Amino acid sequence: MSETTHDAGGHYDRVTAAWTWLLGEELHYGVFERGDEDLATATRRLTSLMAEAGQIGPGQQVLDVGCGTGAPACHLASTYGARVTGISTSGVGVRAATDRAVAAGLADRVTFLVGDGMSNGFADGSFDRVWVQESSHLMRDRGRLVAESARVLRPGGRLVLCDIVLRREMPFEEVRRLLRPLSLLREVFGDARMEPVELYARLVEDEGLTVDAQLDLTSATRPTLARWRANAERYRDEVVSVLGEPEWRKFVAACDVLERFWDDNTLGYALLAAQKP
């Protein structure tokens, strides 16, 4: 399956090894409280904020939708005592996540499988928590993602989600004018489609859940892009050895594009959590 058919798994199979250098072990944006933190501290802060909003606790069964290479899932198990099942459409990511759990001595509490958040295959009411960390933008049908997440939650369970969001509508003429930078983002980060946080909230409530936490993290995540650019310079040789020089250059240019979109209020970052009756 090609990128033109929205093959998120194939994209991550190709880039995962390089992105560990570029984006850090957790493979997602960071939340910077002061602005001068290192990337690892900031990415762990985002995971901690999600855990707080999701009310993650000992013994809970957590479904991690879009688990990356497993760092957040392992953190939920080791720090909060949760039992986590992570799914991803990337076989490379699932293998790396499984190796991580084994190396950390968590293989009895964390499991990773190839699976799709829009059709996860688990029985109704299988989980106490559903965790969707920065993966929904690559799922074409947000309604199916939310419906599946709600379906597998037990009564009283919680859904917690964070992602890049669209902060303003882009007129057609603007989209045409920005075709080159938008195409660059697609090449580097996959065939993403950003939606407003209000859409997520509406979809969640349509499934009978009640949104009780919503955070705008746009300003707090902005420094992430400078850290990614710095990592690209620091690990240039390593990234080029995996992806090649042209792809390295595209990544750096894509960070510039994202900064412009953050600064002109086109894109931002949000977190929301909701409870099932």
Q: Which residues are catalytic?
A: 134
Helices (H) and strands (E) in the chain, counts: 12, 7
Q: CA end-to-end span of the chain, whole Å?
A: 39
Cα–Cα distance measured from residue 31 to residue 42, given in angstroms and rounded to the nearest whole number: 5
The one-character DSSP state at 242 is: H
Burial annotation 52-80 (CB, 10 A radius, 16+ → b, else e): ebbbbeeebbbbbbbbbbbbbbbbbbeeb
Return the closest-CA partner of residue 188 out of 143, 111, 249. 249
Nearest 5 degrees, angle CA 215-CA 273-CA 108? 120
Place of tokens 């931002």: 268
Q: Are 142 and 203 in contact (CB under 8 A)?
A: yes
Q: Are 221 and 30 in contact (CB under 8 A)?
A: yes
Q: Are 59 and 82 in contact (CB under 8 A)?
A: yes
Return the closest-CA partner of residue 62 out of 93, 33, 85. 85
Cα–Cα distance measured from residue 204 to residue 211, given in angstroms and rounded to the nearest whole number: 7
